[in-house]
Amino acid sequence: MIEIEKMGKPAVPIVSGRFTDDAKASSKAFGMPDLQFVVVPRIYRNLADDLCVSQTEEVIDDLIQTLTSEGKDVSVVEQQESIIRFEGEDRYDAVLKMNKDFTLKDWSDALPIFPPTEEKVRELISGTSLSADHVVCDMPPGFGLATVEKIAVNAAMAGAKAEHMPIIIAAVKCLSEMGSHGGKSLLMSTSPHAPILMVNGPIAKEVGLNPGSALGPGRDNEINITIGRAFYLCLKNIGMWYPNKMDMDTIGTTRKFIHCVAENEEMSPWPSFSEDRGFSKTESTISIFVTDGELDVQDQGNTSADGLLKTLAYGITFGNTTLGASHAEGHQRLIFMPPDVAGPVGGEGYSKQDAKDFIHSHANTSLGKMIQYMPINDARVDERWHWLKDKTEEERLAIEVPLLHSSSDIDIVVVGADRAKTLVFPSGPTAATIGIDQYK
């Protein structure tokens, strides 16, 4: 609607009730804070046709009135003190009050945060050669300006150290280069899309990132958690990724407590993910994947490459395939393959590309099952799928198709400790990878 308004044509969105705060935040973030809209109580998708009609008819008069009126300037310039002070009986009490205030304002992840004092922010900025006011990028989904100082403030809240700053800055920049508009539409989705960070190269070992059992709590993952948390707070407070405003996830996911992992390069039989992207082994890089779920694929006895890969190929065949026109976008798989799977596969002479080709060729599933999420007569179904309208449900279920469009839709990263337990994520768009060393 904002783009239509920019063309000189009046536009009034119809906003479903739960999305009112999202509409206000989006209008502000995308350059038209005074955009007018009307509100209906229920979300249209999955709503019966007669209810779609009736709730729309009830707001038609409001829509026409809003569309034809002069409108009003509802933009508000928010003023924020550059320094916020908290006082208490002692420093501990002051920190507790700060935490309560930051949580109420939704500036934290609702876990205890560290005070982002002037001294701590300066210390973190010293971890990079960039100046405090250097603009790294505009950060999606809300496209706030990510300066080094703003990144340092959020990193301080997460408990980061100066040596972590080059990774955190690179992660912020990397997200802005992912797909169209930094994956904005996925970050704002009602589905549980969430970024995951992955580091390659010497810096991973320098800062102590865990490449083994790299996801989850505990001492071994302190650095993984801290860097991921710093990135999340940047995404929230700079990218404006606030729940129920610009993050409209229906249920949510623990993957939004973002982790940063390192690839287990020492135990991989193949070149690293960053080497696949054209970087050298001595270069430090960060990659960002956007994930949409996860599944533990267990193998309880296969030792051959073919056996291990067949189990994995079957394991990734969950989820839907889109019937829309942009059928290839976002329909991928990220595979965190532990050394006990990667080792035997590579040991039998399979390259990483060979493994991806094998998985793709064996990952077949029922087309009928994958398209049940959308009625075949829905107006959004692309013409190339209309031949399915003449098939019975039994015939659709019997049609076997590849899960993915090509083996290039599969990313393999060697992560994990011992045991043949592989972690698979639906993912997409294609991961972005950039160098870290430029931010030291």
What average pLDDT does range 140-162 have in this prediction?
96
User: Which of the four pLDDT bands, split at 50, 70 and 90, describes residue 418?
Assistant: confident
Most confident of 59-68, 75-84, 333-342: 333-342
pLDDT of residue 132 exceeding 90, the answer is: yes
Residues 280-316 pLDDT 10s: 999 999 999 999 999 999 998 899 999 999 999 999 9
Residues 245-268 pLDDT 10s: 888 898 999 999 999 999 999 999
- pLDDT at residue 75, rounded to an integer: 52
> CA angle at residue 315 from 313 to 318, to 5 degrees?
110
**132 or 76, higher pLDDT:** 132
pLDDT of residue 65 exceeding 90, the answer is: no
pLDDT of residue 126 exceeding 70, the answer is: yes
What average pLDDT does range 413-419 have in this prediction?
93
What is the signed CA dihedral for 42, 43, 49, 53, rounded to 10 degrees? 60
Residues 384-413 pLDDT 10s: 888 988 999 999 999 998 888 899 999 999
Whole-structure pTM value: 0.89
- pLDDT at residue 72, rounded to an integer: 63
Of 76-90, 165-179, 361-375, where does mean pLDDT reach its minimum?
Answer: 76-90
What average pLDDT does range 90-99 have in this prediction?
97
User: Which of the four pLDDT bands, split at 50, 70 and 90, describes residue 328?
Assistant: very low
CA gap 295, 346 in Å, rounded:
23
> Is 302:420 a contact under the CB 8 Å cutoff?
yes
- pLDDT at residue 232, rounded to an integer: 98
Q: Mark 78-89 as b/e (b = at least 16 C-beta within 10 Å).
A: eeeeeeeebeee
**320 or 163, higher pLDDT:** 163
CA gap 319, 322 in Å, rounded:
10
Cis preceding-peptide flag for 429 (omega within 30 of 0): yes
